Structure 1
Amino acid sequence: MEKIERIHHVAYRCLDAKATVEWYVKHLGMEFVLAIAEDKVPSTGADDPYMHVFLDAGQGNVLAFFELPKSATMGRDENTPLWVQHIAFKIGSMGELESAKARLQAAGIDVLGPTDHTIFKSIYFFDPNGHRLELAVDVGTEAMYRQLDACKWEMLDEWAATRRAPKHAAWMHDKALPAPV
């Protein structure tokens, strides 16, 4: 089987390609790297003009958007809670997280957090298209990551059998240190 090297790009829909690019450049410091526009969709041949824009999300990761002027108004899956679908970006430190929160709030963007997930802390906010975004900084210890790695398959198997949250990693919410692995 071929080995996946990395994500080439992840694509979402946007309301306005130019406004979206400008927002990501201004508020998240991403570089605008490519624009592609077609009248017909190359993979399907559908007559559906689009603007496809690409932004550098760091370390070879690319975030892309499609503006589709002839399609019905953009919506979302009403059966999925707003907090589920999101794009999380890793940043380097708590100082950067706090600075990003202050900068976003100063620009009039509502920000939730920081939320403490024990192994990382994050803030949440929405882009102008209604996509939920997260900035996260890793704060866990090697022992924590080893503990989570050691129980991941057991947790998944238990979840698959019961559809109830397994308690193997309850220490994350109890804020107790994990047992050594």
Structure 2
Amino acid sequence: MPFIDRIHHVAYRCKNAKQTVEWYQKYLDMDFILAIAENEVPSTKEPDPYMHIFLDAGNGNVLAFFELPTRPEMGRDENTPAWTQHLALKVDSMETLDKVKAKLEADGIGVIGPTDHTIFKSIYFFDPSGHRLELAVDTATPQMNKALDAVKWDMLNEWDRTKKAPQHARWMHDGSAVESH
């Protein structure tokens, strides 16, 4: 059993703290739970004013952001594709996924999906600061989870040797039944 109880919070930078709070409340129904503002970084004592906001992502999960007004405009790692770095949040049903997608699109926010990943379906979109978000609903059966668990180390070891996608779980992409694997 891991000694980690859960993630205390995950923090990202945002362009505007107030806009971020309002956006996450409106589209993802997250409550604004805490604001901390300092003119000096507590851990390093570096002079760097910030607003640190915390949002309730459900079940004890907290999503936090920093607005850093004295720093250059935020960017992203240009060597990492935009689709790679993202925050995936679990929802309870396809109905919820479809409802959020409709709300985002009604306000002109581009949404990709739902994308069927066999073990879950998801939608993708960006928040006002340019962070890619994914909402996912689980669709895996116990058999699927068992089959994936059985091959995870073989897949990782093959990937480590070859840097090519292993085919141990090809059934997830080719439509074949998990029972035969």
C-alpha displacement of 1:17: 0.3
Partner of 1:124: 124
Matches within 5 A, 1:66-145: 66-145=66-145
Structure 1 length normalisation: TM-score?
0.97
Q: Which amino acid is the alignment partner of residue 127 of structure 1?
A: D
C-alpha displacement of 1:27: 0.8
Equivalents in 2 of 1:158, 1:91: separation in Å?
32
Equivalents in 2 of 1:123, 1:177: separation in Å?
24
Q: Secondary structure at 2:103's aligned position in 1?
A: helix
C-alpha displacement of 1:9: 0.3
Farther off after superposition, 171-180 or 157-166: 171-180
RMSD: 1.3
Unaligned runs of 5+ in 1: none
C-alpha displacement of 1:179: 3.3
Partner of 1:170: 170
Deviations 1:44-97 (A, max 9, x none): 110000000000001000000000011111010000000000011100111111
Equivalents in 1 of 2:87, 2:176: separation in Å?
29
Partner of 1:49: 49
Q: Secondary structure at 2:25's aligned position in 1?
A: helix
Q: Secondary structure at 1:42's aligned position in 2?
A: coil
Partner of 2:6: 6
Equivalents in 2 of 1:74, 1:146: separation in Å?
42
Farther off after superposition, 49-58 or 102-111: 102-111
Unaligned runs of 5+ in 2: none
Q: Which amino acid is the alignment partner of residue 28 of structure 1?
A: L
C-alpha displacement of 1:177: 1.3
Structure 2 length normalisation: TM-score?
0.97
Equivalents in 2 of 1:119, 1:171: separation in Å?
11
Equivalents in 2 of 1:43, 1:73: separation in Å?
23
Q: Secondary structure at 1:179's aligned position in 2?
A: helix
Q: CA 1:2/1:158 → structure 2, altered by over 3 Å: closer, same or farther?
A: closer
Q: Kindly tell me the number of residue pairs found equivalent between the two proteins.
A: 181
| Maintained 8 Å contact 1:147/1:180 | no
Q: Which amino acid is the alignment partner of residue 15 of structure 1?
A: K
Q: Percent identity?
A: 66
Q: Which runs of 4+ in 1 moved over 4 A?
A: none
Q: Which amino acid is the alignment partner of residue 112 of structure 1?
A: I
Q: Secondary structure at 1:21's aligned position in 2?
A: helix
Partner of 2:36: 36
